[in-house]
Amino acid sequence: MLRFLKGVVAGSGTGPKDLPYNIGEPYSSAWGSWTHYRGTSKDDGSSVSIFSLSGSNANDGHLAAGRNGVKRLRTVRHPNILSFLHSTEAETFDGLEGTQRDEYYAWGLHRIAKAVSFLNNDCKLVHGNVCLASVVVTQTLDWKLHAFDVLSEFDGNNEASTGPMLQYEWLVGLQYKPMELAKSDWTMIRKSPPWAIDSWGLGCLIYELFSGMKLSKTEELRNTASIPKSLLPDYQRLLSSMPSRRLNSSKLIENSEYFQNKLVDTIHFMEILNLKDSVEKDTFFRKLPNLAEQLPRQIVLKKLVPLLASALEFGSAAAPALTALLKMGSWLSAEEFSVKVLPTIVKLFASNDRAIRVGLLQHIDQFGESLSAQIVDEQVYPHVATGFSDTSAFLRELTLKSMLVLAPKLSQRTISGTLLKYLSKLQVDEEPAIRTNTTILLGNIASYLNEGTRKRVLINAFTVRALRDTFSPARGAGVMALCATSSYYDITEIATRILPNVVVLTIDPDSDVRSKAFQAVDQFLQIAKQYHEKTNAEDTTGTTSIGISSIPTNASLLGWAMSSLTLKGKHSEQTPLSSANSSAPLTSAVSNASSVMDDASTTSVRISSSTDLADQPPPVSPTSTDGWGELENGIHAEHESDKDGWDDIEPLEEPNPSPSPAPALANIQAAQKRPVSQAETTSNEFATKKYSKDDQR
């Protein structure tokens, strides 16, 4: 036990890391202060002898002599003198010291005292051998009492009892025996309380723990210099010479000032969590993230994290506990996080508690990268996707934003089969912020769509919907998304579908939209110009496909345009959801979230040859039910109710001149005023009708 505690409390547990040898078991003897170990070379496995020496301080004479011995052995060579191979010296350091060490010792003593109290008071048993050697420490750093070889029933209440009460008391060292046991005064022992012998043993344990030395004789117990002052009165009562006056271990637990600290209180609260009411739980878990920073780190990781994960998994912890778990989990290595925290998080996605779901989505960037693609596709996404249709706009927005982390891990079947369906509905959501961020998300996940899906979805989503939205940041987001995905469009699409829709926004009422539109027009015109120059430079034979470079576009992810929604509902639902980005009003939407024309990067654009440019249709994508049917490709298998209106549309007719407002502006404004809700007949009209002023009225 003492050796293990030194490994936990001090940082010198397994030897120097740079030692090129494996340290084995020690031999039974060695000269002086050296310890002689068996060892093997890490290179070839050959056997070596390893000598180790440690000192209590830098001025220790044994260390000075040891350094001299190493120096001499290194320089003296002779066939009959031990060969020197390697030496290293490392300073030991305390992993736990001061208050944190005292808190850990207090917690450990608290556990052993509870075990002794259970034996003495509840079971009427006498352990008879309580000392540091009878304590073991588990992987979770719990202290456990063992060594029950001497344990016997206390028969003091039986007047007929005679002879030894502890049959195997001879196994216990004399230094650990109270006076009455050392004298085998069984009459006095039977007249004493059941805890008398084990209370003395607790005193011996406390001495060994704080002195760092094994008790060699009873007289050493009088040396109290190392005993904490807050524990000293109880220590002296445990070692009272009169058995009847020795402190009961149960009273030690209840009344000792030494056990009143943050670590003991925190772990005790977690262990009786089911007995606490919701208010106590909520208050505790809100304070826990800050409190955990003040506790011994290894105790937090090895003890508190498993307790917290279990409490969340089985529903006894409140939603704020998730924040504490993720903060503590960030202190773990990636491997430990995957084992101790991630399985619990995956199970929590199936929770019906809205506060838990919101907490997971708000912090998904902290653990999303650790989730495997299979787990995301099969276990996480099906539960997350329910948030797309939630009645709370705040939860819909969080679900949408989580796709930035989850979408790269989804299969093409999931993306095309369900995700795009949900996004098509969110692009006509009643909340402008959600419509805007849906467009931005599509721009960010475009690289994860297959080519056929991109052909069917992107231009329709960005031009038919985003550029005609009545909310100006949504129109700006559409322009940004087109620019960010410019490498996915061929020259025909740019010239016939993108530029005509973007140009009308150069006279948009919103100045920021106009600025983005002008930059987009410049970008796509530059692409067209490059195509023109390339085709002019070709041989008359030409090629069927040419790769050209576009002007700089945004190679990074588009930023969210806004986060302006709050969770609507009962007060109990709002309590755990407070965050900076959920309290801003809707009008505080940031229209300049991410400029896609300023970053210096180069993308390639696919173009068709001049011989078949006008007649070549987009490639046919596999039949899909993702909500973006394309009539030109003959995809009619879907039911009318599944259509989302992201089909191809024909170019707008040139309106008749009118004095005010400007013709193009009047045309786009009329389109923007058109209802965005998707009825069954709307999708087909979007796909087949040309727009005129009469139609729009």
**Of the listed ranges 13-27, 66-80, 623-637, the one predicted with least confidence:** 623-637
Model confidence at 560: pLDDT above 90? no
Confidence of residue 338 (pLDDT cuts 50, 70, 90): very high
Confidence of residue 17 (pLDDT cuts 50, 70, 90): low
Give the pLDDT confidence score for residue 539 in this predicted structure.
53
**Most distant CA pair in the chain: distance in Å?**
121
**369 or 6, which is more confident:** 369
Compute the average pLDDT of residues 585-614: 35
State percent of the chain over pLDDT 70.
73
**Of the listed ranges 254-258, 379-383, 456-460, 604-608, the one predicted with least confidence:** 604-608
**Of the listed ranges 209-218, 323-332, 483-492, 581-590, the one predicted with least confidence:** 581-590
Give the pLDDT confidence score for residue 562 in this predicted structure.
58
CB half-sphere exposure, 646, CA atoms < 13 A: 29
Tokens for 10, please give them.
Answer: 């001090």
Compute the average pLDDT of residues 523-539: 89
**239 or 87, which is more confident:** 239
Nearest to 455 by CA among 402, 511, 416, 398: 416
Model confidence at 568: pLDDT above 50? no
Domain ranges of the chain: 17-75, 98-260, 618-696
Model confidence at 307: pLDDT above 90? yes
Nearest to 448 by CA among 479, 505, 405: 405
Q: What 3-state DSSP class applies to 457?
A: helix
Nearest to 598 by CA among 558, 560, 548, 561: 558
What is the overall mean pLDDT for the chain?
79
Count H helices and E strands in the chain, helices first: 32, 9
CB half-sphere exposure, 123, CA atoms < 13 A: 13
CA 337, CA 331: separation in Å to the nearest integer?
Answer: 9
Compute the average pLDDT of residues 82-90: 85
Give the pLDDT confidence score for residue 316 in this predicted structure.
86
Model confidence at 644: pLDDT above 80? no
Domain 98-260 - what CATH class? mainly alpha
Give the pLDDT confidence score for residue 75 in this predicted structure.
87
Compute the average pLDDT of residues 249-275: 92
Confidence of residue 304 (pLDDT cuts 50, 70, 90): very high
Confidence of residue 172 (pLDDT cuts 50, 70, 90): very high
CA 489, CA 454: separation in Å to the nearest integer?
Answer: 9
Residues contacting 380, CB < 8 A, separation 6+? 346, 349, 371, 406
Nearest to 443 by CA among 558, 589, 299: 558
pTM equals: 0.66
Confidence of residue 14 (pLDDT cuts 50, 70, 90): very low
- Contact present, 367 and 326 (Cβ < 8 Å): yes
